[in-house]
Chain A
Amino acid sequence: MKRATWLYKVLLVGSFLGFLFPVLSLFSRLSANEGKYLGKLIESVGYENLLGWIIYFPSWHYGEDIGFPYNLYLRWSVYGLISLLVLFFFRKKFSPLVNRIESYLVGNKKIYIFVLFAVFIFQSKFFAGWWFHGIGGWEFSKYKSKIIWGTQAPAKYPQYLNSAVHWENFVLLSCAQKKPFTISGKALIAFTETNCTIPINLGLLEIVFPNRFMSDQKTFIKLINYKIPMIKDYQSLYPEHNPYARIDYNEFNVSKITKVEYWDLNLSSDGYVNIISSANMKKVFYQ
């Protein structure tokens, strides 16, 4: 290590941390929330005596919504280990390239330090707030169509639910199917003090991945009512980067929502007629 360049050292340390921390993080998750995941793991694989000690592992995770991304983390850890071994055993092969890059970049300290930083971040998988190790890789092989073949008989439902369906897209999907079908989805309907209704979606909140707030009735309504008076700004200034469906709020002019209904809908189409075939209220959020 005496003559190793800084770039090589950073690669080495980053790889070591990248190997170690994803595994430690899994332990942390297992011991979090009084061993919620650990209990599930022991339930599915057994070995209580062997795994039980993990409950004492110091956890840095807390609260609801902690995931257990073992597959992803194990891949990161394996990548870290392979990097470490390659750097260690093939150092001589790497050195000329690393030295060349370093000797070029070292002329500008700002660029040089950033490169060391970016290399460290990538190898260690450390998330640095304004910089991280790049967009993750994911695929859609597990995505499955929700279409059920065959139609359902029409049922009675409140007429305001019609406004929560994108009928043009329904027609497009119907055209693309060869057989009658039924599909399920959700609707969120907000009620004003005067009992007027409007379909809404979570885009209104302007929070990235806001689903978790729906499990907390008080917070959910509070957030909606915070945004409702600003709905005109939302409509005019926040049109395109919202990943949720665009809803026209131009005619909507209220300052308070008293209730939000969360519905399970089924839509049926025989290729000619598109209907809401069933509607079940899943949850009601009161102020």
Chain B
Amino acid sequence: MNDLYDYRKKDYPYHFWLVQFVVFSYCIIRLASRDYSIYGELPIEYFNYTRPFLSVYPSFLLEIFNTHFVYWFVDYPSSTTLYFFQKIAISLGVLGLIGVFPKICALCLFIMLTHFTGFIQATNAEIEGGTLLLAVLLILSFSSSSSFYCLFKKNETTRKNDNRWPIFFVFLIVGIFYTTSGLNKLIDVGPWWPFFLHLERLAQVSLENSLFLESRRVNAVFCLTVLNAGYMWSFIAGIITLVGELAFIAILFYPKYRLLLVTNMFILHYFVYLSAGINFLGSTFILLLCLDWNSFFRGATIIYDPNCIEKRNFVKLTKRFDLFDRLTLISSEDPKSKDLVTQNGKSNFVVIEESSSERHGSHALAIIFHKVPLFWSLAFLSKIPFIEFLAVRLCNKFNNKFYKSLLV
């Protein structure tokens, strides 16, 4: 838990701006590529919440949450009303994207998209792949107005707590969403879920259905590949899915595994798309927000032992290529360093990133890699647990001095 993404710290607004940009852009794409007006053509008797997930509880409770309680008092809207309602929602998305009343736009879009989803729930489905988008819109609507960017004014770039907690909130929401999905597999099927998954049977049936244009779209070549890979592939894919989903909440406190977990979920969505035609790839936009993008902008202080040649050379090299001036070097003999580091005697090579506590060894190196463009490829590789493990072992074997100086 030492690496918990602490919402109480201050941070730069860049990640928040990315959330604003991505969420409003995704809203526009979704709304421009869908047509909800057809729900205005449906007879009223079809609005009866038939699906098992929805109807455990009396439907009036759900109608309070999806805002369809308004139809207790007024008639269902016509297709023309819904058509214009959707156009208004797109306009709000554009306003939010350019930073004009983004907080209000986020709240209005949350209500409108929840309302659209309500039509889907009332007729014959539960979700349309927009749950995470709705949740993040709600976070934006709760966020401080000063955190949003606006294209028509000079935006504040100082570190503030208001920029940080919404990002923690995004991590938390996405983490809960995927982890509970993993738990559902254990509850709905059991711990033996990977054994019963049988993706090869899905692939066979999907491939057979794909012969008829009346049926679902699947990627026939992908289905054939899965078929040929057989039951064992299905089992392995099941294990990876289950572990990946259950562990997803770890994006909050294991930053090293964020990239791995996010990539894993993207692959899962992509495979579902290829094999079943269910396109939840839009969630990738939200998944990408679960990487710590501010780590490229935060400054870091390196406290090093000037008497150690390895350390001195390394920090000189990093400083030389520190194009964005993110790094501050302090000699451990400098009295200032005593104020910054807790004296646990563990290491005399310490990196302290803004909004974070001191880091030693490979964790310290990983932070430096994010700051120096020359090392960005290493920053990427450091996110892959196996590669990091291998690199540390190789370093120990072939460059013992470097290992002892910087990695221990």
The answer for the CA separation of A273 and B32 in the assembled complex, in Å, is 43
Q: Which B residues are in CB contact (< 8 Å) with A230?
A: 35
Q: Which B residues are in CB contact (< 8 Å) with A212?
A: 46, 50, 124
Is B391 on the interface with A (CB-CB < 8 A)?
no
Q: Are B186 and A237 in contact (CB under 8 A)?
A: no
Partner of A166, one of B79, B125, B189, B213: B213
Distance to closest chain B CB from A132 (angstroms): 7
Partner of A130, one of B54, B65, B198: B65
Is B34 on the interface with A (CB-CB < 8 A)?
yes
Is A241 on the interface with B (CB-CB < 8 A)?
yes
| Binary contact readout B43-65 vs A (1 if CB under 8 angstroms, 0 otherwise) | 10110101111111111011001
Q: Are B212 and A185 in contact (CB under 8 A)?
A: yes
The answer for the CA separation of A270 and B21 in the assembled complex, in Å, is 54
| Binary contact readout B184-227 vs A (1 if CB under 8 angstroms, 0 otherwise) | 11111100010011110110110111111111110011001001
Residue of A nearest to B169 (CB): A111
The answer for the CA separation of A60 and B59 in the assembled complex, in Å, is 7
Q: Are A130 and B213 in contact (CB under 8 A)?
A: no
Distance to closest chain A CB from B195 (angstroms): 9
Is B66 on the interface with A (CB-CB < 8 A)?
yes
In this complex, the member of B33, B169, B205, B207 whose beta carbon has the largest number of chain A beta carbons within 10 angstroms is: B33
The answer for the CA separation of A32 and B52 in the assembled complex, in Å, is 14
Q: Which B residues are in CB contact (< 8 Å) with A64?
A: 50
Partner of A108, one of B7, B121, B188: B7
A128-B62, A207-B124, A208-B125 known; A187 vs B213 contact (CB < 8 Å)? yes
Q: Size range of the interface on B?
A: 35 or more
Quick one: which of A132-191 are within 8 Å of B by CB?
Answer: 132-141, 143-147, 163-166, 168-170, 172-173, 176, 183, 185-188
Among the 9-residue stretches B127-135, B289-297, B363-371, B399-407, the one with 4 or more Cβ atoms under 8 Å from chain A is: B127-135
Among the 9-residue stretches A7-15, A48-56, A244-252, the one with 4 or more Cβ atoms under 8 Å from chain B is: A244-252
Q: Which B residues are in CB contact (< 8 Å) with A134?
A: 177-184
Q: Are A207 and B39 in contact (CB under 8 A)?
A: yes
Quick one: which of A214-265 are within 8 Å of B by CB?
Answer: 216, 219, 222-223, 226-227, 230, 233-234, 237-247, 265
Distance to closest chain A CB from B249 (angstroms): 11
The answer for the CA separation of A64 and B213 in the assembled complex, in Å, is 27
Is B38 on the interface with A (CB-CB < 8 A)?
yes
A118-B176, A173-B208 known; A69 vs B52 contact (CB < 8 Å)? yes
Q: Are B41 and A226 in contact (CB under 8 A)?
A: yes
Q: Are A126 and B33 in contact (CB under 8 A)?
A: no
A130-B114, A144-B205 known; A136 vs B188 contact (CB < 8 Å)? yes
Quick one: which of B17-46 are within 8 Å of A by CB?
Answer: 32-36, 38-39, 41-43, 45-46
A63-B50, A145-B205 known; A205 vs B168 contact (CB < 8 Å)? no
Is A43 on the interface with B (CB-CB < 8 A)?
no
A166-B212, A206-B38, A241-B279 known; A139 vs B196 contact (CB < 8 Å)? yes
Q: Size range of the interface on A?
A: 35 or more
The answer for the CA separation of A183 and B199 in the assembled complex, in Å, is 20
Q: Are B196 and A141 in contact (CB under 8 A)?
A: yes
Q: Are B35 and A144 in contact (CB under 8 A)?
A: no
Is B126 on the interface with A (CB-CB < 8 A)?
yes
| Binary contact readout B124-164 vs A (1 if CB under 8 angstroms, 0 otherwise) | 11111101001100100010000000000000000000000
Is B336 on the interface with A (CB-CB < 8 A)?
no
Q: Which A residues are in CB contact (< 8 Å) with B134?
A: 130-131
Distance to closest chain A CB from B135 (angstroms): 6
The answer for the CA separation of A240 and B179 in the assembled complex, in Å, is 27
Q: Are B202 and A140 in contact (CB under 8 A)?
A: yes
Q: Which A residues are in CB contact (< 8 Å) with B123?
A: 207-208
Q: Are B135 and A131 in contact (CB under 8 A)?
A: yes
Is A98 on the interface with B (CB-CB < 8 A)?
no
Is A107 on the interface with B (CB-CB < 8 A)?
yes
Is A37 on the interface with B (CB-CB < 8 A)?
no
Q: Are A233 and B48 in contact (CB under 8 A)?
A: no
Q: Are A247 and B57 in contact (CB under 8 A)?
A: no
Q: Are A22 and B56 in contact (CB under 8 A)?
A: yes
A129-B114, A187-B213 known; A143 vs B205 contact (CB < 8 Å)? yes
The answer for the CA separation of A79 and B126 in the assembled complex, in Å, is 22
4 pairs of A and B residues whose beta carbons are closest in the complex? A129-B66, A137-B185, A134-B180, A208-B125
Q: Which residues of B contact A (CB under 8 A)?
A: 7-8, 32-36, 38-39, 41-43, 45-46, 48, 50-59, 61-62, 65-67, 79, 110, 113-114, 117-118, 120-121, 123-129, 131, 134-135, 138, 142, 165, 168-169, 172-173, 176-189, 193, 196-199, 201-202, 204-205, 207-217, 220-221, 224, 227, 276-279, 281-282
Q: Which residues of A contact B (CB under 8 A)?
A: 21-22, 25, 60-67, 69, 72-73, 75-76, 79, 107-108, 110-111, 114-115, 118, 122, 125-141, 143-147, 163-166, 168-170, 172-173, 176, 183, 185-188, 199-203, 205-213, 216, 219, 222-223, 226-227, 230, 233-234, 237-247, 265, 267
Task: Name 13 extra pairs, CB < 8 A, besides A172-B220, A201-B214.
Answer: A21-B56, A63-B50, A130-B65, A130-B110, A130-B135, A132-B127, A137-B186, A137-B188, A141-B198, A163-B213, A176-B227, A238-B35, A245-B212
